[in-house]
A and B are shown apart, each in its own frame.
Chain A
Amino acid sequence: MKKLEIKNLYVSVEDKQILKGIDLEVNEGEIHALMGPNGNGKSTLLAAIMGDPSYHVDQGSIVYDGQDILSLPVNERSKAGIFLGMQYPQEISGVTNSDFLRAAINVRREKPISLFEFIKTMEKTINDLQMSEDLAHRFVNEGFSGGEKKRNEIVQLEMLKPSLAMLDEIDSGLDVDAIKLVADAIRKIQQETNMAIIIVSHYERFLELIKPTFTHVLINGKIVLSGDETLYDRIDKEGYDWVYKELNLAKEEEETPAVTRVSLGNCAVAETMKGQN
């Protein structure tokens, strides 16, 4: 049984500490919803698990399937079964979806996939997600609408069949019909493969469709509260204020540069210097 174990994880970006001691355990087949106000580290956690080079792990460990994945390059983490459906998928000009996906499938196999089998699988997946038929020949995400980019992430998910899927606001940019379509596709893949899912979403309807088995609230770089599906219900109805109150948490102020107000006719530099003294 494959298991993700995160212990005491500290992550910073550009010298700013974002995650301050995360502990999380995710077992095969479980669906975990990660909630919390914006800017509290949900995306950072997913990016750090995948190995995004802009994030720096300062402390702690991430073990997946018994393997220390912090020592693995990004592509090896993917081959170990980890997948990140990104909030802002990159556009890769000049590389077609079919060349990209075929290469991605082949690195997981001893023998390359036959062209016939690949085309058959790709066509079925495109059909499942109601993408346009020319998807295979278009460049990866180039010129795609926000919704198409998100559906294309799920096309990749369905074709690569990971054992741990992390979905970062995969529902944003999708209209109501597409949300249902994407949620159904994810559920179906989950039932077929029994993959684990970690999902970041602000949209209660999407979570209802996905049916998480666990909910975690991430505030100020820590998981402050964990529970079952009733937790996201309550957050959807009441917001986060009660969490801050009950747990006695301080809201972290956005860092704003100190501005000294100066009236016209004065030397702004001199006034600012005065203010600092």
Chain B
Amino acid sequence: MRIQDNAVIELTGTYQNITIDTDHEIDLKIDSKADTELFFRILKAKKINIDADILHNCSILFWNDSEEEIETIENYRVSSAADLNLAYGECNNAKTARKTNVLLGHEHSNALLSTASLISTDKKYDLVLTNNQPKTNSQIRNYAVVLNGGRLMIDAVGKIVKGARKSESHQVSRALSFEEGQSATILPELLIDENDVQASHAMSIGKVEEKDLFYMMSRGLSLKECTKLISLGYLLPITETISDETLKETLRNELERKISELCMM
């Protein structure tokens, strides 16, 4: 399916592969009627606004293939005991400014938000996950490889409101660089207004350990080949969001090609 204008996307239980290709700003509404997997390939768009009511388990992978700057504002409300699995593949060489809000608005509703980024220009993500009801679970996972000229800025907020007992909010962010001079800023924030909860964040920004490189090079790999393999290891897990094997294979090949191109620069 190809989207060029405002649209309502119904999640009816069958896997959908959607391409967004438009010159202007569009509004998308997502309507969940059954457990569904959804793949979006963004070829072109000025601005994308998404509004979604999630009532069933739902996995959505956005794959940014745009050659131009893109802005998105996304709002998701999980309004039943369902799992929302939201993933962003940002491995294109164009700027992105992304604002994503997820509200866990029902007991036992869960959200996992993952990003995989190969950064060679400016990428900025503002992510807010709110545990608004008891026994909800939110997780954020950011994996980024920052290349020459890349600037990454992530503001990741996990918010547990008063009364959302036995809720969990966890974050992991890892940014990898191979040379000096790249910039990555990750601000993990946990705003907790309830006692009976679990929350954590883990973060690392930096170069590959020298011992890892020595081990890999002692088997004959050059520094570039090490860079490629480690980068692929950082980014590839995002393709697991969707179970469709053909799609996984396509995305893996695309990632390998992009990493090869960018790492050779």
Contact = CB atoms under 8 A, between A and B. Distances in A.
Contacts of B219: 75, 78, 100-101, 104, 156, 160
A78 B232 CA distance: 23
B216 interface: yes
A223 to B, nearest CB: 24
A99 B229 contact: yes
Nearest to B209: A90
Contacts, number: 74
A65 interface: no
B210 A53 contact: yes
* Secondary structure type dominating chain B contacts: helix
Of the four ranges (under 10, 10 to 19, 20 to 34, 35 or more), the interface on chain B belongs to 20 to 34
Given A53-B210, A103-B225, A74 B218 contact: yes
Interface string A80-106: 000110100110111110011101100
B218 A50 contact: yes
A75 B215 contact: no
Contact of A92 (B210, B225, B230): B230
B262 interface: no
A94 B233 contact: yes
Interface in B231-265: 232-234, 236-237
Contacts of A51: 214, 218
B214 A52 contact: yes
A79 B220 contact: yes
Contacts of A108: 220
Interface of A: 50-54, 73-75, 77-79, 83-84, 86, 89-90, 92-96, 99-101, 103-104, 107-108, 139, 156, 160
Given A75-B221, A94-B232, A104-B220, 17 more contacts: A73-B217, A73-B222, A74-B214, A75-B220, A90-B209, A90-B211, A92-B212, A92-B230, A94-B230, A94-B234, A94-B236, A95-B229, A95-B232, A95-B233, A101-B219, A107-B225, A108-B220
5 contacts: A50-B218, A54-B210, A75-B217, A92-B216, A107-B222
